[in-house]
Structure 1
Amino acid sequence: MRIKICGITRPEDARTVDQAGADAIGVVLFSDSPRSVEPEQAAEIFRAAGPYMGRVCVSHTSSRSELEEILQLCPTAIQISNPHPMPSDRTVQVIRVIEPGMDLPTSVDTDALIVDTSQGKGKPYDPGFARSVMNKTTLPVILAGGLRTDNVAEAVRTLHPYAVDVASGVEISPGIKDPQKIRSFIQNARLQS
């Protein structure tokens, strides 16, 4: 089971996530989220994680110039909800956000889908919608929304997503992660895989 801990706002949390065994960290940019960081902070957070940690920039920006700033951070992936076309020579993976009522992306510049109606607010995922998306695509599907240490194992067991993604479910307060919750989340997610 692949695991991303999202909404990282501090280098020490990036190190904790790496040491706990997650596969990726996510930083939020150009957003009104309380977890949003400036590009300089994102670069510092990325530097704090080890060499094998995936680095994901998360944004809902509609600005091409902001997207260019994100690409300058050299993330391993970009998670985005707007249908920005990506350059054909891109070196970054693209994860598109999918919510109820949206059409599945058909563009060739989509490498994975994330079922996320919560967007860091702790709103529970809809298992029926998640299953529907998984049945309609060959792309990897990531599950997010309301996941916590006490429900992630059940989500993995019943839906078998490509990966799980958590932000508020492992926090003390918005953007401040709880090391014990991170470790428990990762352990519980991997119990079923």
Structure 2
Amino acid sequence: MRIKICGITCQEDARLADHAGADAIGVVLFSDSPRSVSPEKAKEIFKAAGPYMGRVCVSHTDSSEDLAQILDLHPTAIQISYPHTLPEDRTVQVIRVIKPGDPIPQSADAIIVDASMGKGTLYDHTYAQQIIAMSKIPVILAGGLNPENVSEAVRTLRPYAVDVASGVESAPGIKDQKKVLSFVKNAREAEYGA
């Protein structure tokens, strides 16, 4: 199972996620979210993370110009909700965002069940369970996860990955060291049955 700490807004939090044992960090771009950063800032954040850390650009933009700037950052993956058409020969993985009522997209390398989109609203357990059971591609769970509930989510749903933003913050866009460390520890222990 993989763990992504999303909504990273500074280099220190990128290093914190890496130190805690997360597999990926996410930066939000072209958004009105308090976690949104500029492409220049995203580049600095990505540079601060270690060489084995996944780098994910998250955006709900419908602009092809914004998407081009995101792709110029050379992320490991892009997490998008708008149905952009991407080239077949792309080198970046595409994670499509879905919420209850959405079909499973055909053109994705993974899907993220996320009706919350950084607002801390708890995921729908039944919907997540159905999507995980029927999807042929990896399913990432997000929405309202925090150090207290991630263990149960991992044990009962067994997603490919878990994704957290507001659940490990002291303020929007500011990660809390203790919460990040606890989240990763609790997710890993649940994964291995500790």
- Judge same fold: TM > 0.5, yes or no: yes
SS at 1:69 equivalent: helix
Tell me what 2:70 maps to.
70
Tell me what 2:155 maps to.
157
Residue 58, structure 1, aligned to residue 78, structure 2: no
Tell me what 2:86 maps to.
86
Tell me what 1:179 maps to.
177
Residue 121 of structure 1 and its aligned partner are, at CA, apart by 0.4
Q: Which runs of 5+ in 1 are unaligned?
A: none
SS at 2:112 equivalent: strand
The CA distance in 2 between the partners of 1:186 and 1:23, in whole Å, is 10
Tell me what 1:122 maps to.
120
Choose from 165, 168, 172 the match for 1:167.
Answer: 165
Task: Give the residue type in structure 2 aligned to 1:73.
Answer: L
Task: Give the residue type in structure 1 aligned to 2:2.
Answer: R
Choose from 136, 141, 159 the match for 2:139.
Answer: 141
Q: What is the RMSD of the two structures over their aligned residues, measured on CA atoms?
A: 0.6
Tell me what 1:30 maps to.
30
Tell me what 1:105 maps to.
105
Residue 171 of structure 1 and its aligned partner are, at CA, apart by 0.2
* 1:71-92 C-alpha deviation (Å, 9 max, x unpaired): 0000000000011111111000
The CA distance in 2 between the partners of 1:151 and 1:35, in whole Å, is 23
The CA distance in 2 between the partners of 1:20 and 1:42, in whole Å, is 20
SS at 1:172 equivalent: strand
SS at 2:44 equivalent: helix
Residue 179 of structure 1 and its aligned partner are, at CA, apart by 0.8
Tell me what 1:40 maps to.
40
Residue 134 of structure 1 and its aligned partner are, at CA, apart by 1.2
Task: Give the residue type in structure 2 aligned to 1:167.
Answer: A
Across the two proteins, how many residue pairs are aligned to each other?
Answer: 191
Residue 17, structure 1, aligned to residue 17, structure 2: yes
Residue 13 of structure 1 and its aligned partner are, at CA, apart by 0.4
The CA distance in 1 between the partners of 2:111 and 2:132, in whole Å, is 9
The CA distance in 2 between the partners of 1:12 and 1:135, in whole Å, is 37
Task: Give the residue type in structure 1 aligned to 2:53.
Answer: M
Task: Give the residue type in structure 2 aligned to 1:51.
Answer: P
Residue 31 of structure 1 and its aligned partner are, at CA, apart by 0.5
Task: Give the residue type in structure 2 aligned to 1:68.
Answer: A
SS at 2:163 equivalent: strand
The CA distance in 2 between the partners of 1:60 and 1:79, in whole Å, is 8
Task: Give the residue type in structure 1 aligned to 2:73.
Answer: L
Residue 133 of structure 1 and its aligned partner are, at CA, apart by 0.8
SS at 1:34 equivalent: coil
Residue 95, structure 1, aligned to residue 95, structure 2: yes
